A = this chain, B = another copy of it.
Amino acid sequence: MRIHLPKKHLADVLSQVERVVPTRSSTPGLHLVHLYNRDNQQLVFQGSNMDIDIEAILNADIEASDVDHFSVPAQVFGQIVRALPGELVELSLDDNELNISSGSFATSLQLADASTSPSLDFPDDYQGTISSSILASAFSHVRYATAVAEYQAIFRGVKLELSDNHTRAIATDGFRLAYYHIETSSGMDANVVIPAKAVDEMTRLLAEGDVQLHVADNQLSLATGAYKLNVKLMEGTFPDYERVIPADFIVSMLIDSKQLTETVKRVALMADQNANNRVDLFLKDGTLQITAEGGYGHSQEALEVSQEGSESQIALAYNAAYLIDALATVSGDMRVSFSGTTSPSLLTSLQDPSYLAMVVPLRTS
């Protein structure tokens, strides 16, 4: 087969495929991208890393020949295409070579044996549909709260709840929790836990328009624009998060997200990184005093806030990084609500009521 394509389209697709396909792998053929001629009108790209499969489709005018599919190393193919001198690329197949030419440049890339590669299967029909931007927003607000390394693997995933009347994403590592809830339905009913790495790849592909979703056989599939993904789901029981989110608060304050973030970052420079990066908060009479101390010395800053609640003051401590993370995905005024000195605190955004973050204070005694 022979194909003429704009370099940019080919480079964009290969960049996405390269994000999934590993550069090297002990599994034979896993570093390959497989290309197919579909009806002389579409060039189909497929690749996998065993946990995530990707398919991309480029519309193209394809001159058919006996050979209608081939496999080449994804990274090398991508590097060549990005370096091409012209705006247009010609791909043509010899017996055992892919010829890539553009302007006065030409290269011949040896075809790889794909007989040992896993065969990939993407659904034709999907169960539900939701706006790409809503799903991307849900993922990007909660992703930070997944555990990096935890004895329970399930903490390294994001729970996605799809129901008749809402869509919800939750992540927690046991010390903090992030939650994003939208009253928009995908028209399907499923509760799945997606590995954090797969959440990142899904988020990256979610651009304009809608995304179609499908859950079957411990796999979540999505289709958006020119791309399809299959994602292997996590097994196990996600913690009963609703039980731990407090509903009663003794004190709360309103404060600008950016101001609180910058102050915590500044004060925490003196915090002891070997002691949970501890910062102390003392709220009284509309003044929030933030302090830290460690081996290098101590620091403090006071902020004026709008204070409410039955108690006149509260003193408690947090891991500074948890506060900073919880504030990173929102802007504008935040309400920080304290349920007690040892029970979880809630951070909610006045601009985006879909978002809620919970942080457990440090034990200070």
Identify the A interface with B (CB < 8 A): 73, 76, 79-80, 83-85, 97-98, 103-110, 262-263, 265-267, 269-270, 295-303
Contact = CB atoms under 8 A, between A and B. Distances in A.
A83 B85 CA distance: 45
A73 B296 contact: yes
Assembly stoichiometry (copies): 2
Given A85-B266, A266-B83, A266-B84, A297 B108 contact: yes
A67 B76 CA distance: 63
Given A80-B299, A83-B269, A104-B301, 16 more contacts: A80-B269, A80-B270, A84-B266, A85-B262, A85-B301, A105-B263, A105-B267, A107-B267, A107-B269, A107-B297, A107-B298, A107-B300, A108-B297, A108-B298, A109-B270, A109-B296
Contacts of A265: 83
A344 B21 CA distance: 42
Given A110-B296, A110-B297, A269 B76 contact: yes
A271 to B, nearest CB: 11
A145 B76 CA distance: 28
A274 to B, nearest CB: 15
B109 A297 contact: yes
A299 B107 contact: yes
Contacts of A105: 263, 266-267, 299-301
A296 B111 CA distance: 8
Contacts of A302: 104
Contacts of A295: 110
18 contacts: A80-B269, A84-B266, A85-B263, A85-B301, A103-B301, A104-B301, A104-B303, A105-B263, A105-B267, A105-B300, A106-B299, A106-B300, A107-B297, A107-B298, A108-B297, A109-B297, A110-B295, A110-B297
Nearest to A303: B104
